[in-house]
Amino acid sequence: MLLYALRRLIYLVPVAFGVSLLVFALVHLAPGDPISAIVPPDAPKEVVDKLKEYYGFDKPLPVQYGRWLLVTLSGDFGTSIGTGRPVAQEVGSAFGNTIILAIAACLVAFSLAIVLGTAAAYAKSRVVDRLVTSIALVGVSVPHFWLAIVLVIIFSVELGWLPPMGLGPENATGWRLDWPHIRHMILPTIALSVIPLGVMTRTVRSTIKEILSMEFVTALQAKGMNDRQILFHVLKNAAPVCLAVMGLQAGNLIGGSILIETVFAWPGTGFLLNSAIFRRDLPILQGTTLVLAFFFMMLNLTVDVIQTFVDPRIKRG
C-alpha cells in the first residue's frame, strides 16, 4: 500500500511541473498588461517601465517562468502586485476560508446525496424515484450563482433571516465555529452544494441500482441476510465509484467557487481570484491557481489511496 502511494506521489512530479507550466502560460496568454491594471491609464511610461522592471515583467517569458518556478519551489510564490503583500500569505488566508465553505458544502451535498440516491435506488414507488431524480436534475441544471442571488433575495432581503454577505459579523476577524459565523455560511453553503448534490445523487442512485441487480445480492438474500446487512454490502461495493466522483466534486467545490464567493463577498480563493483577474495581479493568479491545482491533485491521490483500501482489486489492477 505504502509503495503504491509512493509511486503515485512520484507520478505527481511531472504532472505538477506540467500544471505549473500551463498555469503560467494561461495567465500570460490573457490579454492586457499586468502593470496597466495597477496604474492609472495616463501614468508616465517611465513609471510603468520601472514597475515592470521592479516586478520582473521586463524579462522574456521563459526567464520569468524560471524565476517564478524557483521562488515557488522555495514556498515563497512572490509578491502581489496589487497589494504588495506576499502571495503565500494572501493565498493562505483565502484558502482557509474556501476550505471551510467547501467542507460544509461537501457535508451537506454528500450526506443528502447518499440518503436520497439510496432511497431512490431502493424505492418500490416510482414517485419517490422520480422525485429524487428530479431533485438531482435540478441540482445539475440550475446555475448556482443564479440560485445564490435567489437565496439572498428570499432569505436576506425579503425574510431578513440570514446575512447576504461576508465571513462573519462586522466586529469579528477571521472565521470561528459559532452561530454568528455559521449564519453567514448557510446561504453560500446551500448554493455551493447544489451541483455536487445533483451529481452525487445520480451517481449513488445508478450505482446502487446496478449493484442491486447483481447476482451476489441474490446470493446474499438466499443466504438469509436481512435488508440492513445486504445494504452494507451494497454500499461497500458502491463506495469506489462514489468516492471517485466525490473526490472530483470536492475538488470542483474548492476550485470552482469563484462566482459563489463573489456573490456572497466570501473572502476565499474564488473572491481572491476575481479580484486578481480584475487587477491583472499575475502573481496572485498564478499562486492561487497553482495551489488549487495541487490541492486537486492531492485530493485525487487521496481518493485513489482510499479506494484501494475499500476495493483491493484497484490496487491489483
Rule CB under 8 A: is residue 61 a binding residue for other proteins? no
Considering only residues 128 to 157 of the shown chain, the ones binding other proteins according to CB under 8 A are 149, 152-153, 156-157
Pick the stretch among 103-111, 120-128, 160-168, 198-206 that binds other proteins (CB under 8 A). 160-168
Which is nearer to other proteins, 170 or 215 (by Cβ)?
170
End-to-end Cα spacing for the chain: 13
Q: Please identify which residue in 267, 270, 283, 287 interacts with other proteins, judged by CB under 8 A.
A: 267
Which is nearer to other proteins, 44 or 60 (by Cβ)?
44
The rounded distance, in Å, linking the Cα atoms of 29 and 62 is 13
Q: Please identify which residue in 6, 22, 43, 138 interacts with other proteins, judged by CB under 8 A.
A: 43
Closest CA relative to residue 269, chosen from 91, 119, 120, 101: 91
- The three cell numbers locating residue 317: 489492477
CB atoms within 10 A of CB 63: 11
- Contact indicator for 105, 268 with CB cutoff of 8 Å: no
Q: How far is CA 212 from CA 166, 199, 244, in A?
A: 45, 20, 20
The rounded distance, in Å, linking the Cα atoms of 282 and 27 is 7
Which is nearer to other proteins, 274 or 302 (by Cβ)?
274
**What is the x/- site pattern for other proteins, positions 206-245, by CB under 8 A?**
----------------------------------------
Q: Please identify which residue in 7, 10, 40, 75 interacts with other proteins, judged by CB under 8 A.
A: 40
- The three cell numbers locating residue 308: 484501494
Per-residue b/e over 218-242, b at no fewer than 16 CB within 10 Å? eebeeeeeeeeebeeebbebbbbbb
Helix (H, G, I), strand (E, B) or coil at 42: coil
CB atoms within 10 A of CB 190: 21
Q: Please identify which residue in 14, 44, 62, 224 interacts with other proteins, judged by CB under 8 A.
A: 44
Rule CB under 8 A: is residue 165 a binding residue for other proteins? yes
Considering the complex, what minimum distance in angstroms separates the CB of residue 82 from other proteins? Answer: 7
Considering the complex, what minimum distance in angstroms separates the CB of residue 134 from other proteins? Answer: 27
Rule CB under 8 A: is residue 179 a binding residue for other proteins? yes
Q: Please identify which residue in 48, 128, 142, 305 interacts with other proteins, judged by CB under 8 A.
A: 48
Rule CB under 8 A: is residue 57 a binding residue for other proteins? no
The rounded distance, in Å, linking the Cα atoms of 304 and 231 is 23
Which is nearer to other proteins, 240 or 270 (by Cβ)?
270
Considering the complex, what minimum distance in angstroms separates the CB of residue 36 from other proteins? Answer: 4
